[in-house]
Amino acid sequence: MDLQDQLKNLFPDHEPSPEESIEEVAHELYVQKEPMICKFEKRKGKATTIIEGYEGTDEDFKILAKEIKTKLSVGGTFKDDSIIIQGDYRDKIMTILKAKGFKVKRVGG
């Protein structure tokens, strides 16, 4: 006997109300007209990729940073309006951003 049957036995006159469906709206990122800058730097002897130039909100930029880090399975952070990714992943990051509709400019090396 499952929970619904037990409730019907306890409250025979009760009519269950239809469940309301909650529709989740996917969050859309702000796509800007100006290109974002994807550059390569060495910090403390380690290769890093830095993405700068996003004009949307910080929350959108953080969501974008998280998506990039999970797709590439790498570490990184969001600091001072830039995404810092561990390693040289400029080409892969540029393809991910272009697939999302962003314009990307490659800078350095």
Cα–Cα distance measured from residue 28 to residue 38, given in angstroms and rounded to the nearest whole number: 21
31-107 to CATH, choices 3.30.530.20, 3.40.50.620, 3.30.70.260, 3.30.780.10: 3.30.780.10
Chain segment 1-19, per-residue pLDDT in tens? 788 888 888 888 877 677 6
Cα angle, residue 71 at apex, residues 24 and 41 outer, rounded to 5°: 130
Chain segment 18-58, per-residue pLDDT in tens? 766 666 656 677 777 788 899 999 989 999 999 998 888 88
**Domain segments of the chain: what residues?**
31-107
- Whole-structure pTM value: 0.69
Cα angle, residue 65 at apex, residues 80 and 39 outer, rounded to 5°: 65
Cα–Cα distance measured from residue 106 to residue 18, given in angstroms and rounded to the nearest whole number: 54
Cα–Cα distance measured from residue 98 to residue 77, given in angstroms and rounded to the nearest whole number: 21
